A = this chain, B = another copy of it.
Amino acid sequence: MPRNAAIVGGGHADWGHREATWKDLAQEAGKATFDDVDGLTPDDVEGLFVGAVQPERFAFQSHVAPLAAELLGIDVTKMISRTELACASGQAALRYAWLAIAAGQLDVALVLGVEKMNLGDEYMAETQASMTNVLDREFDGVNGLNAPSFFSMFAQRHMHEYGTTHEQLARVSVKNKNHAANNPYAQFQTEVDVDDVLDSYPVAPPLCLLDCSGITDGAAGLLLVSEEKARELTDTAAYVTGSGQSCMAGNSINNLPSFSGWPQATQAAEEAYDQAGIDDPVDELDVAEIHDCFSISEIIEYEDLGWVEKGEGGQFAEDGRGELDGDIAVNPRGGLLGCGHPLGATGVSQALEIYKQFTGEVESARQVPDSPETGLIHNLSGSGSVHSVMTLARDPQ
């Protein structure tokens, strides 16, 4: 890339079932972001990149980027808009901020992910109906497909093809929820064990309640700046080193290439690894925040991000290779299973976690040991039809 860009800080709103509007959430995360970064104020921001999926449905509001600018007292002078890629919207916003800095258009960008999803119990049907429109609503949504039933098919097929067990899936939930128990902004902060997962309410077999992420109100912000600016501000930044996205054959589940894997994840990861100069991801990545919307997702991602052979994801979990002291510390933040999943905010929060792991600022119980220096974020979106990957490192390339 022509110019390097780096994360130099950021912050969160509290995540969960909040008595707060979209605007409240944006404001909380924005304030936390500026509070976190010495040397940058709203006056320094030249570009604003908002990730949000459904403010039109959940908040009856569009043109949300200028709304956020207003709440945070930012006069944007160079670039502004909001990006939507369903569950990967936050990462997509980060990617565009990175491009803007790389291309020399600006030096200081605020990336803000916000989603208000809980509208009150009386509107839960509205939220659930709206969630079907990240699928192909005309073909899949109206026929009753939603996220749990969709991912249950992947779980069933993966078990059938590779002998993966629910206990192995549950290991993912236990790991991530126990990380979240040490994360003060997470939606779910209660420790669980494998039996808790297996005995929890069956949602879409084999997936039980604790195999599923949440319906979450949340927001996260981060400041991404040019290398020159980063060096002025701090000794420890998280530089973007690679990016990949892949979409094969669209969004309807009729056209998906597989029901037990995501070749899109492999393609996206290989592009990012190539840009970052990563030959052996298990050896070279210290920490990763990957898209565990359901426990099965993380199992498949171990495989399709190129960390183990196809079918060995369950064993990777069982062997604890994704624990804080494992081969790659996976989802120390708590993942979507622990933090919840406010759609547009998740990718931003993941990237911020990588930065905070580099700086050693997270709670000690979920700090990845031995000063991590390289990281990865991954999101899938819609029917898993699109996979998005970015790599980060303490040192620019």
CB-defined contacts of A80 to chain B, threshold 8 Å: 85, 245, 247, 386
The answer to whether A56 and B130 touch across the interface, beta carbons within 8 angstroms, is yes
Using known A-B contacts A66-B385, A248-B75, determine if residue A1 contacts B103 with beta carbons closer than 8 Å. yes
Contact of A346 with B by CB under 8 A: no
Contact of A61 with B by CB under 8 A: yes
Task: State in angstroms the CA–CA spacing of A79 and B243 once bound together.
Answer: 9
The answer to whether B1 and A104 touch across the interface, beta carbons within 8 angstroms, is yes
Q: Give the number of times this chain occurs in the complex, counting copies.
A: 2
Using known A-B contacts A105-B99, A133-B61, A247-B76, determine if residue A84 contacts B81 with beta carbons closer than 8 Å. yes
Contact of A251 with B by CB under 8 A: yes
Using known A-B contacts A103-B99, A137-B61, A244-B78, determine if residue A70 contacts B271 with beta carbons closer than 8 Å. no
The smallest beta-carbon distance between A310 and chain B, in angstroms, is 21
The answer to whether B70 and A251 touch across the interface, beta carbons within 8 angstroms, is yes
CB-defined contacts of A62 to chain B, threshold 8 Å: 53-54, 84, 86, 133-134
Beyond A66-B385, A78-B271, list 18 extra A-B contacts (CB 8 Å): A1-B104, A2-B2, A21-B138, A56-B130, A62-B86, A62-B133, A63-B84, A63-B85, A63-B251, A63-B381, A66-B250, A66-B386, A75-B249, A77-B271, A79-B243, A82-B85, A99-B102, A99-B103
Interface residues, chain A, CB within 8 Å of chain B?
1-2, 21, 23, 48, 53-54, 56-57, 59-67, 69-71, 74-86, 88-89, 92, 95-96, 99-100, 102-105, 130, 133-138, 243-252, 255, 267, 271, 381-382, 385-386
